[in-house]
Structure 1
Amino acid sequence: MPTISVNKEELFRNLGRKYTFEEFDELGFEFGLEAEEPEEEEILQNPDLANVWKIEIPANRYDLLCIEGISRALLVFLEQKQCPRYTTVKPQKLQQMKILPATKQVRPHGVAAVLRNIKFTPDSYRSFIDLQDKLHHNLCRRRTLVAIGTHDLDTIQGPFIYDAKPPKDIKFKPLSQAKEFTAPEMMEMYSLDSHLKPYLPIIRDKPVYPVIYDRNNVVLSMPPIINGDHSKITLDTRNVFIESTATDLNKAKIVLDTLVTMFSEYCDQPFTVEPVEVTHSDGSVHLYPELPYRYEEVDVEDVNKKVGISISAENMSNLLTKMLEHVIHPCDVIEDVAIAYGYNKIVKKIPATSTIADQFPVNKLTDLLRQEVACAGFTEVLTFALCSRDDVATKMRKNIKDSNAVHIANPKTLEFQIGRTTLLPGVLKTISNNKNMPLPLKLLPFLDVMLVIIVQSEQGYYIKSCKDATYFEGRCAEIIFNNSVIGKIGVLHPEVLKEFELTNPCSCMEFSIEPFL
């Protein structure tokens, strides 16, 4: 879960009172947060940390990634502040942003909004920048899904154009630089920058780079790399133009909603946002931010039963108001009722039903098999249930489309893109990382695989010669049980061994034990 650092004095100002760490830790526990004090050794190395607490945030609460969000949520939880109602206020003339079709080649989506008549302090300005960094690292998946740009609206003029151009045609003065650079020059310069270097591969090999500019061709940003220096925001900025470009439109809208709701409290009209008219590349026109309110129906009796309490619908409604109620699923309502009611207040009861626990047959069988294979000199290995597509396809000389793999929608890293369909890659990686161990290496995993289609069985057991690109031709057989293929046995192909950096021949047998139950 994400962690943020907050200045104690600033937090106390926002909450209206001082807390000892023990008091705040207890409050955080009641609300669902976990606080941490710096160690004495850390303070000795950096005395500024004496005024800092770290707070661990639930992964689904992006609104708590800044001190404004935490303070607001806790004040509402303590019933010292009413839950704000966020609204959009249309000006006489809307700001506009047009997305051109060329963006489809690199980053097709964009949304925008304006915070009008905002007043920054040094603390709120720093928090504004920090929230963008936190969102970039979490929800935005290190800018691969969404990149945020914030600009001083008084230094630029709409309508704004979101386009994608060949790198050589993009030239502007990037943030904190003294002169203009072309896009290729910037990519070269920032390849040595520890902060921006990780983001360069997102667009480096694309034929066109995304770029946003105003009616006077002033470049606002080249997402997801860098903003222009011309429109940078400062403590004196009064009107902020926010744009989010993305490969995922839904994530872009969530990021924009999070930013404007957190910092609209500093506007002359608190919790109001000025929408921007965005024309998408398909010609459709939408106003952002949408700031949607969702309605969810839950059964009061069911909530009471699952939490273990007995309260009225009115009391339950009051408890949910304390939680600012961020609903993803009805179970979130149940969880928030329990938090607001107080976990420590829920009376512990012995369940009315009694059951006798027993092992699943497959677990009982694997426990028996573990003893036998250990006696035969095999070492059991535990490997990750997720792996890369290359692990089960390219490295195994196969096509990923033929793997029946369960794909992860938004993998955090390239190493965890799918659920493993075979145990072989994990075992081969284990061998690759233990090549200094004496031979022979006899490894055996008892682990699950994930497949979209499960094979049905009939009768019988035998092996049958087969062709499989992962194995030597003529040295591979299918293991068949009840007329269904449950595994393979054979000698691995040299190219597979090369992919896993192995230099010795390797034979293996892999099969499912569940059909034997």
Structure 2
Amino acid sequence: MPIVSVRRDELFQALGQTYTDDEFDELCFQYGLELDEVTSEKEQMEREKGVGKAEGASEIVEYKVEIPANRYDLLCMEGLARGLKIFLEKEKAPRYKPVPAVSGQTQRLVIDSSTAQVRPHCVAAVLRGVTLDESRYKNFIDLQDKLHENLCRRRTLVAIGTHDLDTIEGPFSYEALPPQEIKFTPLGQTKEFTAPELMEMYSVESHLKPYLHIIRDKPVYPVIYDKNRVVLSMPPIINGEHSKITLATRNIFIESTATDLTKARIVLDMMVSMFSEYCTQPFTVEMAEVVQPDGTVLTYPDLPYRKEVVSASQISKQIGASIPTKEMARLLTKMCLESEALPDGDSIEVEVPPTRADILSQIEKSYL
């Protein structure tokens, strides 16, 4: 089960209410989560390195919350706070909406046929008019890391790249080239390296070393360029320094390359839905066009909503508890599944939002 670390006071501010540790533990239990630990950076460092060796470490209290592996929408403070507020019936679930480019010029990414040799799929979207601060930036990066480790299967299925759109220029191209032909300044560096040099450098770097095997022995490596041949990323290893996100970033271009297109779409939907609340128009996401090697143009993000009709009596039978139809509809709504009891007294119309990719059928709904 993934563990999400959130700053207690920041979470309470988002929830509009404070709790004792025991009260929050109970809230987590009611929701189906577990408060794994109450700690701080200083406490963790003292535990690992010894008392007196944590000078300067933060004493801000952190909650470490254990999240079900299939609840990707709870893997960051934003999603956790949103889910809990909906559960507490303090607010309704937001409507996530793909919108056309404000400027009228849609960002476009073209996939070259060469990528079929290594990592054939790519999806993209834009978060427009984002306002970041230190905490939001940290949460944004943390969500990428959690998705990479979880749904993305340590980047083997999907790798996420996020870029300051104002530092690059579309249209973008997704290509696969012989390693020696790829040269750029990677994130956190000040000079250019060839791809083979990067692979050698990262072979002794603990953070990136685990991902090198994904492409190391391929005849070509994936790379994303902008119009001016500026490298955005060499997925699934590293982004370019040129387009890195900072606190001053206002427009974010997100690309996800993948061996599994379905997972890539889900990952993109999760990234943009979680942080679209900070856009100029909250919960809207600017669409991008992705041109396939055969010339087909696909538009992302999907952000799909779908409706299903389920039987309250059948669900009650499956979970072993008799719940009245209207009460079941209310409980489903509290779990971010807008629901309405239908006139026949047994049927419930359930709307599944893009953030609940874990819901596949009535069987899954029975175990919420």
* TM-score (norm. length: structure 2): 0.88
| Cα distance in 1 between the residues matched to 2:29 and 2:87 | 12
Conserved in 1, the CA contact under 8 Å of 2:187 and 2:244? yes
Is it true that 1:329 corresponds to 2:349 in the alignment?
A: no
Give 1:69's match in structure 2, choosing from 59, 75, 79. 79
Is it true that 1:303 corresponds to 2:315 in the alignment?
A: yes
Letter in 2 for 1:21: D
Give 2:197's match in structure 1, choosing from 185, 208, 215. 185
1:258: Cα distance to partner?
A: 0.5
Q: Secondary structure at the match of 1:301?
A: helix
Flag the 1:77–1:280 CA change in 2: closer, same or farther, 3 A. Answer: same
Conserved in 1, the CA contact under 8 Å of 2:38 and 2:61? no
| Cα distance in 2 between the residues matched to 1:114 and 1:53 | 31
Is it true that 1:57 corresponds to 2:72 in the alignment?
A: no
| Cα distance in 1 between the residues matched to 2:44 and 2:239 | 34
Give 1:249's match in structure 2, choosing from 236, 255, 261. 261
| Cα distance in 2 between the residues matched to 1:8 and 1:43 | 18
1:318: Cα distance to partner?
A: 2.0
| Cα distance in 2 between the residues matched to 1:193 and 1:206 | 20
Q: Secondary structure at the match of 2:11?
A: helix
Letter in 2 for 1:328: L
Is it true that 1:290 corresponds to 2:322 in the alignment?
A: no
1:307: Cα distance to partner?
A: 3.6
Give 2:135's match in structure 1, choosing from 123, 135, 138. 123
For residues 422-433 of structure 1, what are the structure 2 equivalents within 5 Å? none
| Cα distance in 2 between the residues matched to 1:83 and 1:191 | 44
Correspondence for 1:216 = 228
Correspondence for 1:87 = 97
Correspondence for 2:34 = 34
Conserved in 2, the CA contact under 8 Å of 1:264 and 1:271? yes
Give 1:152's match in structure 2, choosing from 155, 158, 164. 164
Q: Secondary structure at the match of 1:331?
A: helix
For residues 344-493 of structure 1, what are the structure 2 equivalents within 5 Å? none
| Cα distance in 1 between the residues matched to 2:39 and 2:259 | 41
| Cα distance in 1 between the residues matched to 2:128 and 2:307 | 29
1:36: Cα distance to partner?
A: 2.1
| Cα distance in 1 between the residues matched to 2:78 and 2:310 | 30
Correspondence for 2:113 = 101
| Cα distance in 1 between the residues matched to 2:66 and 2:216 | 34
1:301: Cα distance to partner?
A: 1.5
Conserved in 1, the CA contact under 8 Å of 2:7 and 2:60? no
Flag the 1:251–1:155 CA change in 2: closer, same or farther, 3 A. Answer: same
| Cα distance in 2 between the residues matched to 1:186 and 1:312 | 60
Conserved in 1, the CA contact under 8 Å of 2:215 and 2:221? yes
Flag the 1:39–1:111 CA change in 2: closer, same or farther, 3 A. Answer: closer
Q: Secondary structure at the match of 2:92?
A: coil
| Cα distance in 2 between the residues matched to 1:126 and 1:145 | 24
Correspondence for 2:216 = 204
Flag the 1:310–1:126 CA change in 2: closer, same or farther, 3 A. Answer: same
| Cα distance in 2 between the residues matched to 1:67 and 1:282 | 40
The one-character-per-residue Cα deviations of 1:369-420 (angstroms, maximum 9, x if unpaired) are xxxxxxxxxxxxxxxxxxxxxxxxxxxxxxxxxxxxxxxxxxxxxxxxxxxx
| Cα distance in 2 between the residues matched to 1:167 and 1:306 | 54
Is it true that 1:227 corresponds to 2:239 in the alignment?
A: yes
Flag the 1:331–1:120 CA change in 2: closer, same or farther, 3 A. Answer: same
The one-character-per-residue Cα deviations of 1:83-113 (angstroms, maximum 9, x if unpaired) are 1111111121211000000000110000000
Letter in 1 for 2:277: E
Correspondence for 1:273 = 285
Is it true that 1:135 corresponds to 2:147 in the alignment?
A: yes
Letter in 2 for 1:330: Q
Correspondence for 2:347 = none
Letter in 2 for 1:67: M
| Cα distance in 1 between the residues matched to 2:44 and 2:271 | 31
Select the structure of larger CA radius of gyration. Answer: 1
> Which structure is higher in RCO with an 8 Å CA cutoff and minimum separation 6?
2
Correspondence for 1:171 = 183
Gaps of 5+ in 1: 337-517
Correspondence for 1:4 = 4
1:209: Cα distance to partner?
A: 0.5
Conserved in 1, the CA contact under 8 Å of 2:39 and 2:62? no
The one-character-per-residue Cα deviations of 1:179-206 (angstroms, maximum 9, x if unpaired) are 1111111111111211111111111111
1:207: Cα distance to partner?
A: 0.6
Q: Secondary structure at the match of 2:90?
A: coil
Q: Secondary structure at the match of 1:60?
A: coil
Q: How many residues matched? A: 336
Q: CA RMSD in A?
A: 1.6
Letter in 2 for 1:321: T
| Cα distance in 2 between the residues matched to 1:49 and 1:252 | 37
| Cα distance in 1 between the residues matched to 2:247 and 2:332 | 36
Q: Secondary structure at the match of 1:148?
A: strand
Correspondence for 2:13 = 13
Q: Secondary structure at the match of 2:223?
A: strand
1:280: Cα distance to partner?
A: 1.4
The one-character-per-residue Cα deviations of 1:283-340 (angstroms, maximum 9, x if unpaired) are 221111111113222112212333444444333222211101332221222223xxxx
Is it true that 1:236 corresponds to 2:268 in the alignment?
A: no
| Cα distance in 1 between the residues matched to 2:114 and 2:59 | 47
Q: Secondary structure at the match of 1:6?
A: strand
Percent identity reads 61
